[in-house]
Every structure is written in structure tokens, then in C-alpha cells.
Structure 1
């Protein structure tokens, strides 16, 4: 089961865009042109030929046109889009609304509305003016792939309510939407009024993740990890003789009475740690099928980053995020619930893209990562520069864990004309690269949700406390 992301209302409350105020103007329809032309021809013919019957025949057309045009609207129609995305997570129900407003005192005979929706927002039901007008079936991609027609009363608005499912994380557009209305019994039509799309924020579904192993080094003063240093904490390290400065509540009276000398219980200090989650976005592979389908490289990267950040922030650690790619974005270390909301917002803008330049130098240097921090690199290892970056981090003395985000069942690309032998050779070359990284001291593990990093963190923590040979 996936955990729902908390509402980010404290950071970025949803803002309903103001109604669009287009330039006012109404154009005559072909019906008005035909009515005027027919009335004029009948009147001219009646006068020239001296036939009163033609003038009488033209009278209904002239009176009907004049009656229809007696009240013409002065303002153009309004349209705006509003969304409710406070608690929207992958797989959750999304609601949107496209409203058509009539600010004038003249009613709209016909209003034709049409809108676009991101393919990752599957609209399953559309209600226009309170009536269900479309539902998505098995053969229909979306319930909004059609125009919606209704009438609008004076000084009122009509809503197109859209209900569906958010299939993938990201900022997905709802819109643009456009409307045209007809008045005066179809003799006048407005110009097309188009509103810019509204962005629907869909947060990644955090996969279950729980690493129970100790951190390599805990550098803070307080936290949930048991360090190797003695101090105030909850982990028992042993019993020793009482010394000046020891707290009286630490005295072990049972041992003291038996040894006839005061003894205290020694504990290990509880410390926090800094975790740097590095997202390799140099390459994208695999087709994304949404929350219920296959996961691409970016899908696995974003969801696992959200799960790792949520786990360590919940334990009181500091978490920082960095992108290894063209944008070279970086999120400073932080703790607490507010920082977790910031992490979710930051992950929504993750995009994959290749870069002809080496992103290592301007993305971050070794001074940007604390020597005591744990660097979790989420990478598909599709680019040789990614492996070189991992090796440089390991040689600089950082604690690095590489998480393989490449889909296990990645199909052979057919659009590039790959042969099966070439695809197998590429797989063998990638496996060789992974083994070389392990020889350089970079553990590589495939992401598998809960417990993915336990064994790796256990090995890294053991190496952190192991004695190092001095240089001669």
C-alpha cells in the first residue's frame, strides 16, 4: 500500500485564476446575413415592381430580425478553470471545474465549451450544468474528447465538472479551454474566448521503505541513530565504575551492591545524520504506465526518492536532494514536516534530459557533500558519466550507495533498429560496469521497496568503523 502525501497547503495554497477578460466584440452569423439580404431583396423588388405582396412578405423577416437584435450583450463571455489538488496523490481521485460565466443581462442561447486535459489525468465522468453528459468507457480515452453545449442565463455561470483519476506524478495541465456563445436567436456569435491551463499537482506515491540499519556516521547532536560514541542515549553500551560527572540516575545499584563500589550504566549517544539523495536524470528508459502500470526510470527515481526522504525525515535526520543532469538543481538539507513538503514540491519538477557537457563540475563538488553524509545515488547506469561520478565520490571518501533504477524487464528498443545480439552485448557491458563499481567500493543494489538498503547500509556502517591502515 502506498502512503498518501500530506496536503501542501502551508507552502503553496491553490489559487483560482481570475476570469479571462477578452476584448469585447460580437460577429454576425451567416443567418443574420441571409435575413438582411432576403429582406432587402424583397423590399427592393416590391418597390420596383409595385407589388405590395412582396413588401408584406418581407415584413416578417424584418420584424423578426429587429426583435432578435433588440437586446444585444455588451460584454464578452468569461471562462476560468479551477482545481482542487490539496490531497492529490498518484492513483487518487482528481476534480476539476471549467466555468462559463455570463456577466451581461442578456442570456446566451447556446454556449459551446471544449477543453483539453493531460493524458495523465484520466477523466471518467463529466457533468455539465449539473447533468452527467459523458462517461469514459472501454473504447473512449477520455470523457472530455467532445464539445459541450448548453445555455447560460443572464448574470450566472455554468460549470463543467470533471472527475477522474491521477495516473502519474507531476504538474499536469487542465486546459486550455475555449468557449463560443451565440445570442439573438443565433444571429450574433462571440469571438472564441480561451483561458490558459491550470496545473494540477500530483504527488508521487511513496513506496513502503524502512531501513533499520545504522548510519555510517552520525554527525549531529540529537537524533534517532545509535552512534559508536558514548553519551546520553537509549542504547546500553556496558557497565563501568562511577566517575565524577556521571548522573546519579545512571547508577546500577544491583552491580554496585555486588561489587561494593558504585557502577553506572554506559550508553551510546543518539545522533542524527545527513542523507543526500542524488537523482541521475541524464537518461530515461522504459515506458511509463502510470501508477498502475509499468514504471520508467524517472518513475522509480522519483518514487524511491520520496520514500527515502520520508523515512529519514520521520526519524529526525537531515535530507538534501540534488540532480545529476543538465538543470543541476539542488535542495538544501533540512528536517521536519515542512521540509518533507518542500521535497515533494521539488520532485514534481524532475525532468530527464541528456547533456553534452559533464554535469559533475557545476552540479556539485566534493565540498557540497559533507564527509559524514550518506549519499544515496538513484541511477539507471545508462551513461558512462554516471559511473565515473560514482567512482569519484567513492575516491573522495564519501559513503556512497548506488540504487539501480533501471526496470528489470526492460524490453529491447525496436525504434532504433537494435539486434538481439547487440542488446545482449549492451547488457553484458552494463553488468561489467556494475562489477567495476563494486570493486571501487561502491555498492550497487536494485530498488525493491522495504529493506532495499538494509544489507548495503550494514556493510557501509561496518566499513566506517573499521580501522584503516596508515600510510608509510
Structure 2
């Protein structure tokens, strides 16, 4: 059988003391025949009876609301914790406390109240804004580190408004929250009411990025990149003799008059490209300080991927995402604003996943990676499997660009007198690995915002357009 729920309101120690003192005085007065003891018991009895003349029957209702529309790192955050009283008896005191993620800094807390009908449920009440005449408190680490107390009259909703700032990308929680209410002059207290946490998506700030160089291979149907295929584009490929199907507006009259034969201008078609953004999640390094602090490996990966994806999606290219890790998450290639919004949601769930196994075959399955795609790999090159993955991609004939995401100031914690020496040796070995990758045709560049990949893309496009020796 299911257990029956306990009572909503329970007596407080103050009620127990009042009943105990009243009983003791009455029993002692009856046994000893002293009227003064009965007179002393009268105020306790009358006060308790008057306070309990109207007792609440409904528990307080609790809801968390957050204005989570298009929140980006460093933007203001507005939320509220609503406490509703549908009972006919007001709450003398409501104590509420909540937990907020460390990446959501709450600087100010204010109170607002609003009348509601007794039958109106508040469990799904949205967050309400409002100003308070109280002076603004100075900024601190978090204004939710302590509980807050206020009154909630009958048939009203009181909001604990939270105002602060988002500090880092990801899915952060506001809550869970807990509330207890006291009524009947503090003689009755409600059971603790809990609410689930509200997850707030905070999108990464898009760093400026612009790549002016051509793509290595643009093999789609339409787009803004120059392709090696002839077609109706804006790039001149040469002049040839007029043939059936050629348009009259393409006739080059200067060449035709000199050669005494009609010639037309041949154009290169404009094609779209496929860009694959590969995030190495095998290792994390550095310490994240939020939007105004230092950046870790994941911070650089996510912000740079968002910037590059926004740039190429704005140009009409297809962009896909892959994770190099045991989960092998992937986002199919697509174009447009819808793909950009889906990509931002996908980036919020990027996490470091360590695994002793090699995830290459799991990530790059058969026919999952186009041979014409430009693969941009965001990797700290901390794990040896990352360098092997880059080498295998280059040997397979794909165009690979590696973006070094290791913070320059990332150092291991000191564990002895040889820590600094070991770290310098590891740095030398890592630089040697980067040099070997470059010798094998894998350019490695450090992310530096706008124009980071221009020089690298120019070299890759030049290699792609160069003639290849034929095998005999």
C-alpha cells in the first residue's frame, strides 16, 4: 500500500510550549486550589485559541521562472522565485532559499507582490519583473548565499526577483529552491516545499571571424565559392569558340573580331562548400574564468566553432559538427539560420570524455565524412591519439586544418621540484609533434579571432588546385 502523505501544517515548538504551560498551570491550580495559577494560564489559553481561530489548510506553492530568451555570455539575467498563497489565511513569515550555478552571478534580490484569485494555481506562474523602492545592493559573489524571509498575504503571489549576469556558456541551473511558511502567529509551520531546478541555456559569445580565402573544394550545387567546374558564375575561366547552347550575352566581341570567329567567355560556377568542425574532447586543460577571465580548452573550442560556423552559414555553406571522443556525437550538415540555432544548442552539451580506446573508427565511419569537405579540427594536442587522428585524416586525402586550442599559460599543478622541468620537456615534445604534422601537410594554427585561417586556407586551396601527377 502507498504511504499516505503527512500533514501539510505541523505545530511549532512555540505551540507546544503554550499548550504545556497552560496545562501545567491548570492542573497545578486544580490540585493546589490556587486561583492565581488559573489566572496565569488564561492569557496562554486565550492567545493560543485566538491565533488558531483560522488555520491554513493549503501548502505554499513554489515556482521558478527565468527569462532565458537568447542569453549569451556576459548578458544580464532576470529570474524570479514565486511563492503563491491560495489559502484564506496569510503567511506571517516565508523563508526561502535557492541554489544557483556558479556561472550565474546574482547581484541583486528584490521583492514584488501581486494579488491572485484564491483558485488560481501558481505552480506554472511565469517570472514577473518589478522595481523595488529599496536601494540597490552592491555587487557580490552571489546574493543567494543566504535565505530570505518575507510575508505573503492571503490570495497573493510574492516574487523573489533575481538579477545578475551570465558568466559562461552552457546549461546552468537556477534552483532547486526550498520554502517553508509560518502562520497563526508562528504556531503552525508548513512542511518544506521543494521545486525542481530550472535549466538556463547560455550560448557562447561569437568571436569575430572572417575568412576571405577560397575553399579547397566547392562541390555543391549553389553557393558563393569559386569552383573548378565551368558554369554560370562570376569568375572568368577563359575564352573559347562559340558552341551550341552558349548565350549571346557571353560573346567576347574583341576576341571574335580579331579571330573572325565567334568566341564566348567561359566562367567558373559558384558552388557551396561543406565545412566539418571537429571538436577534440579527449582532454581539458587550463582553467575557465568565464567571459571576463581566462579561457580553457573547451571555452576556445566552443567559441571558435560558433564563430566559424556563423561565418560559413551566413555565406550559404553547409556546416556539420563532430566530437572526437567516446560518445562520437555528430550534427548532420545543413545550411541556414535553423542550422545555426541547432548548432548552438549542440555546442551547449560539449563535455570532456576520457576513454582508453581509440575512437577514430567510431567517429569517422564509412561514408560519414565527405572527401570534398574542409575539416577544421579544434584540438589541444595533449592526447597522443589526437595527433594520430590528424595524420590519418591527411593520409586519407582530406583537407585538414588543425586549430591549436591549448592556452599559452596552461601549466600543471606543482607536485615537486621536477614539475617545471617535466612541463618544459613535454612542451618541447609537443612542439616536435606539431612540426611533424606540418611536414605531413597538416597546418596547425593558433586561434586568434578574425583572419586566423586566411593564410592556411590560401595554402590549402593552392594545393587543391595544383595538378596531381598521374600514376603509370
Would you call these one fold, judging by a TM-score over 0.5? yes
> For 1:333-412, what aligned pairs fall within 5 Å after superposition?
333-365=333-365, 367-412=367-412
Q: CA deviation at 1:447?
A: 0.7
**C-alpha separation in 2, matches of 1:146 and 1:404:** 42
Once the 2 structures are TM-superposed, how far is the Cα of residue 256 of structure 1 from its aligned partner? Answer: 3.8
Structure 2 vs 1, CA of residues 235 and 470 (structure 1 numbering), >3 Å: closer, same or farther? closer
SS of 1:40's equivalent?
helix
Whether the 8 Å contact between 1:79 and 1:98 is mirrored in structure 2 is yes
- What is the alpha-carbon distance in structure 2 between the residues aligned to residue 132 and residue 376 of structure 1? 53
User: Is the contact between residue 123 and residue 136 of structure 1 (CA under 8 Å) also seen in structure 2?
Assistant: no
Secondary structure of the structure 1 residue equivalent to 2:289: coil
Do the aligned residues in 2 keep the contact of 1:126 with 1:134 (CA within 8 Å)? no
Match of 2:425 in 1: 425
User: Deviation digits for residues 76-115 of structure 1, max 9, x if unmatched?
Assistant: 1111101111121011111111111112111000001111
Bigger shift: 46-55 or 257-266?
A: 257-266
Shift of the alpha carbon at 1:262? 2.6
* 8 Å contact from structure 1 (residues 296, 406) kept in 2: yes
Q: Name the SS of the counterpart of 1:294 in structure 2.
A: coil
Partner of 1:454: 454
SS in 1 for 2:286: coil
CA-CA distance at 1:132 after TM superposition: 6.8
Is the CA contact (8 Å cut-off) linking 1:128 and 1:148 kept in structure 2? Answer: no
- In the aligned structure 2, how far is the partner of 1:439 from the partner of 1:94? 48
Counterpart for residue 237 of structure 1: 237
> Is residue 2:40 matched to residue 1:39?
no
Q: Distance in 1 between matches of 2:416 and 2:330?
A: 34
Deviates more, 1:233-242 or 1:307-316: 233-242
Change beyond 3 A, Cα 1:275–1:149: same
CA 1:133–1:418: 2 relative to 1, 3 Å:
farther
Deviation at 1:48, TM superposition (A): 1.0
Indicate if the aligned counterparts of 1:215 and 1:461 stay in contact, CA closer than 8 A: yes
Q: How does 1:216-365 map to 2 (within 5 A)?
A: 216-257=216-257, 259-365=259-365
> Could you tell me whether the CA contact under 8 Å between 2:411 and 2:423 is conserved in 1?
no
CA 1:232/1:417 → structure 2, altered by over 3 Å: closer, same or farther?
A: farther
Equivalent in 120, 131, 148 of residue 103 of structure 2? 120
CA contact (8 A) 1:172 1:202 kept: yes
Length-normalised TM-score, structure 2 = 0.92
Residue 416 and residue 231 in structure 1: after superposition, are their counterparts in 2 closer, same or farther (change >3 A)?
Answer: farther
1:174 paired residue number: 174
Check whether the contact 1:237–1:268 (CA below 8 A) recurs between aligned residues.
yes
Going from structure 1 to structure 2, the CA distance change for 1:201 and 1:439 (only over 3 Å counts) comes to same
Q: How far did 1:441 drift?
A: 1.4
Q: Name which of 58, 63, 77 aligns with 2:41.
A: 58
CA distance in structure 2 between the partners assigned to 1:466 and 1:256 by the alignment: 31
State the distance in 2 between where 1:211 and 1:418 align.
43
Residue 186 of structure 2 is aligned to residue 203 of structure 1: no
Task: Tell me the distance in 2 between the aligned counterparts of 1:100 and 1:415.
Answer: 50
1:158 deviation in Å? Answer: 0.6
Alpha-carbon distance between aligned partners in 2 of 1:92 and 1:171, rounded to the nearest angstrom: 15
CA offsets per residue over residues 201-242 of structure 1, 9 Å max, x none?
100011111111111111111111011221111112233332
Query: For the residues of structure 1 that align with 2:99 and 2:461, how far apart are their CA atoms?
Result: 52
Is 1:27 aligned with 2:13? no
Shift of 1:155: 1.5
Conservation of the 8 A alpha-carbon contact between 1:281 and 1:325: yes
The equivalent residue for 2:115 is none
Q: Could you say which residue in structure 2 is the equivalent of 1:19? A: none
- The 3-state SS of whatever aligns with 1:115 is strand
Distance 1:77 1:417 in 2: 59
User: Distance in 2 between the 1:75 and 1:190 partners?
Assistant: 9
**Whole-Å separation in 1 of the counterparts to 2:133 and 2:288:** 31
TM-score scaled by structure 1?
0.92
Distance 1:464 1:104 in 2: 75
Query: Residues 104-162 of structure 1, C-alpha deviation per residue, up to 9 Å, x if partnerless?
Result: 11100000111111111111111123537796646x31112111110001121111111
Q: Deviations over 1:402-451 (max 9, x none)?
A: 11001122234326875211111000000011111112211111111111
Are 2:286 and 2:409, in contact at CA under 8 Å, matched by a contact in 1? no
Gaps of 5+ in 2: 113-130
Partner of 1:367, secondary structure, is: coil
1:288–1:269 Cα change, 3 Å: same
1:257-289 CA deviation, whole Å, 9 max, x = no partner?
555433322211000111110000111100111
Aligned length: 450
Root mean square deviation, CA, Å? 1.8
SS in 2 for 1:141: coil
* Alignment correspondent of 2:77: 94
CA contact under 8 A between 1:115 and 1:176: conserved in structure 2? yes
Q: Secondary structure at the match of 1:266?
A: strand
Q: Distance in 1 between matches of 2:40 and 2:242?
A: 119
1:445 aligns with 2:428: no
Aligned to 2:120: none
- List gaps (5 residues or longer) in structure 1: 1-21
Q: Specify whether residues 214 and 194 from structure 1 end up closer, same or farther in structure 2 by C-alpha distance, changes over 3 A only.
A: same
